[in-house]
Chains A and B, each alone.
Chain A
Amino acid sequence: MCLAIPAEVVEVEWPYATVDMKGAKRKVRVDLLDDVKVGDYVLIHVGLAIQKVSKEEVEEIDRLWQKILEE
């Protein structure tokens, strides 16, 4: 339950946004973050975006995941 998953914002309808979690799209609330835009990456925890994260960092996590999955 304490997991939070990084996701890309694909549409903003304040206070909601549609995010893409690696292909799974979901409507979440984003009103506890400032200035959320399409293309931003956010950490989603039980339907709420709790922090913005940088794209580079998300890509780094993706790279690690990929590597683990291939091992």
Chain B
Amino acid sequence: MAEDTGRIVRKIEELSEGQEINLMHLCGTHEDTISKYNLRSILPPNVKLLSGPGCPVCIIPDTDLQEVFHLLENRDVILTTFGDMARVPFEDRSLFYYRSKGKDVRIVYSVFDAVEIAKREDKDVVFFGIGFETTMPSIAVAIKDSPENFYVYSAHRFFIPAIEALVSEDMKIDGFINPGHVSTIVGVKAYERYRKYGIPMAIAGFEPQDVLLAVYMLVRAVKENDGGIFNEYTRAVKYEGNVKAQEVMNEVFYSRDGEWRGLGTIPETGVGIRNDFEEKDAEKVFEDVFENFAPKEDKRKKHCRCGEVLKGLITPKDCRLFMTACTPRNPIGPCMVSFEGTCNIWAKYSIS
């Protein structure tokens, strides 16, 4: 294996010689693989791996977080969500803070665990739903098959249309490493709309070999001026994707404008719950609570550069808070909180 790795790296060196090539990955788990195996150190310096907005916890703007806090403050509900989300701070509060103050906040591994809680309890159970197309089908299934006292606050985002914003931003990206498990759902076909830009994309799995192979495919495509879509992760990604998952996702959710931390509002990326399922939509069911909600700015985040990290414009080291005021134990920005956040990953592997 080590021998094969060396051969692939040499091919990458040969193909990229004399050219600056910037490749952006779109999944936090890819950043984890890249950092864990220190892949940047074995690639030639002219081939750069940039970190993109592929961490669903990191891109949730403070507004969504504050709305959920507001709900907890004003209604006696059981709030369920994934563990990462519960640690994201706004000012000096997080969902764990509310739990320590006696609010019923529960961490679940899957939305189906939250449904089970709703079956057991008489109280209203709200699931704070985050995640991209990988996660949304499970939430859609839960919305269709859950007891009356189960609701979803949808902070999901459609990832595929967000790529448009990255392409149109004033950034020099020569190729994209596309997320393996989002692609398992949406299929290779979802990226066809991006062929027009002539920027190659390679869907990749999560082993170090997968990522290196994707880098090789992209460097070769750049050399050959081929703006194609490549699928390295054929063991999990089909051309059509998981059609049943797409159907249930589209049956339950619709797309609207969506705000992203660092990227602003991106059309088609917000995820609303369709009227047919409005009795499950926390935004509508608890409308009266949200009526008097007004978002605020978090002064603590004034110097947090999470937004630029998410666009690959800087690395965590360029942020003056990184490992000074902002650490995994006391995170200021979500990129330091989430296991898929670039700052957290760089801190974990002591990249400096």
> Mask for B166-200, Cβ within 8 A of A = 1, else 0?
00000000000001111011000000000000000
Give the residues in chain A near B27, CB-CB below 8 Å. Answer: 2
User: Given A45-B138, A51-B184, is A3 in contact with B209 using a C-beta cutoff of 8 Å?
Assistant: no
Main secondary structure of the interface of A (DSSP, over half): mixed
> Mask for A32-71, Cβ within 8 A of B = 1, else 0?
1110000000010111101101100100110010010000
Categorize the interface residue count of chain A: 20 to 34
Q: Could you tell me the distance between the alpha carbons of A3 and B132 in the complex, rounded to whole angstroms?
A: 12
Contact between A45 and B235, CB atoms less than 8 A apart: no
Contact between A4 and B184, CB atoms less than 8 A apart: yes
Contact between B235 and A50, CB atoms less than 8 A apart: no
Contact between A29 and B138, CB atoms less than 8 A apart: yes
User: Given A46-B111, A50-B181, is A2 in contact with B29 using a C-beta cutoff of 8 Å?
Assistant: yes
Q: Could you tell me the distance between the alpha carbons of A27 and B30 in the complex, rounded to whole angstroms?
A: 27
B54 at the interface (CB under 8 A from A): yes
Give the residues in chain B near A51, CB-CB below 8 Å. Answer: 184, 236-238, 242
Identify which of A3, A34, A47, A54 contacts B206 (C-beta below 8 A): A3
Across the A-B interface, how many residue pairs have beta carbons closer than 8 Å? 97
User: Given A47-B109, A51-B184, is A57 in contact with B235 using a C-beta cutoff of 8 Å?
Assistant: yes
User: Given A1-B131, A1-B340, is A53 in contact with B182 using a C-beta cutoff of 8 Å?
Assistant: no
B245 at the interface (CB under 8 A from A): yes
9 tightest CB-CB pairs across the interface, nearest first?
A47-B110, A48-B138, A57-B235, A46-B110, A32-B244, A47-B112, A32-B245, A4-B181, A51-B184
Give B residues with C-beta under 8 Å from A.
Answer: 1, 27-29, 54, 56-57, 82, 84, 109-113, 130-132, 134-135, 137-138, 141, 179-182, 184-185, 206-207, 209, 235-238, 242, 244-245, 248, 338-340
